[in-house]
Structure 1
Amino acid sequence: MTIEQLQQICETFPGVTTDIKWENHLCFNVGGKMFMITAPDEVPVNASFKASDEDFEQLTEREGFIPAPYLARYKWVKVDNISRFTTAEWNQYARQAYQMVYDKLPAKVRKDIENL
């Protein structure tokens, strides 16, 4: 898995935007809210993403996965190397992270995204 492949996955979701935060973190957003943060300049490339309560518990027990610093209380998981997931797993977890953030957006914002 490369950062470009992960970016392609995230950009297939409706209304996704990207920006750079904290000088070198590529962030994926929907409705102005982050659902994934990557560190493409670090070797290996790492990422943090929002997870369900159940996935948060399961993933943080796996090697290379920890509760994301500063975001763990919101059930974000950090993976130390994006290659620890297969493409299929990234499709699943990125879509899930996107959907959880999207579902909490105000109705007007969701409607605007749907009309893009």
Structure 2
Amino acid sequence: MTRDEFNTFCATFPATSHVVQWGNADVWKVADKVFAICGWSDGQDAFTFKVSDIAFEVLQSTPGIRPAPYLASRGMKWLQHYCAPGLGDEELCRHIALSYWIVSTGLSKKKRLELGIPLTPPEAL
């Protein structure tokens, strides 16, 4: 996945916003809560996303995936795809979609309905 593909994909979710911060990282938020980041690692794009407790335990040992710098060190369940082999584009998109949904569950049901955010996780996950 390229940075442009990442940004195009993240823009498809309802109630999102995009900012560039932290030294040229593309940061995607749902209702002001971060759900995905594209920064860099050793000159390559690196994709950071929130995961479930189980996914955090299972995926962090996958080559090309690691606990997200800064976020995971603070006890948060965030992973970073930073090099090959890592995740394929389709799997990476599924994890970003799930990250969006996980982060959005921090909003009230009423707010999610107002913003057009699904109340159930993406079907593909």
TM-score range, shorter chain: 0.7 to 0.9
Structure with more helix by fraction? 1
**Which deviates more, 82-91 or 93-102?**
82-91
3-state DSSP of counterpart to 1:45: strand
TM-superposed deviation, 1:40: 5.6
5 Å-filtered alignment, 1:31-50, equals 31-39=31-39, 43-50=43-50
5 Å-filtered alignment, 1:84-99, equals 84-99=86-101
Higher RCO (CA-CA < 8 Å; seq separation 6+): 1
The aligned amino acid for 1:12 is T
**Compared CA separation, residues 83 and 46, structure 1 to 2 (3 A):** farther
Aligned-residue RMSD, C-alpha: 2.1
Do the aligned residues in 2 keep the contact of 1:66 with 1:77 (CA within 8 Å)?
yes
Aligned-residue sequence identity (percent) comes to 30
- Give 1:114's aligned residue: 116
What's the TM-score once normalised by structure 1's chain length?
A: 0.86
What's the TM-score once normalised by structure 2's chain length?
A: 0.80
5 Å-filtered alignment, 1:1-116, equals 1-39=1-39, 43-72=43-72, 73-81=75-83, 84-114=86-116
Deviations 1:36-90 (A, max 9, x none): 1111696211121101111111110111211112211110011213873222112
TM-superposed deviation, 1:112: 3.0
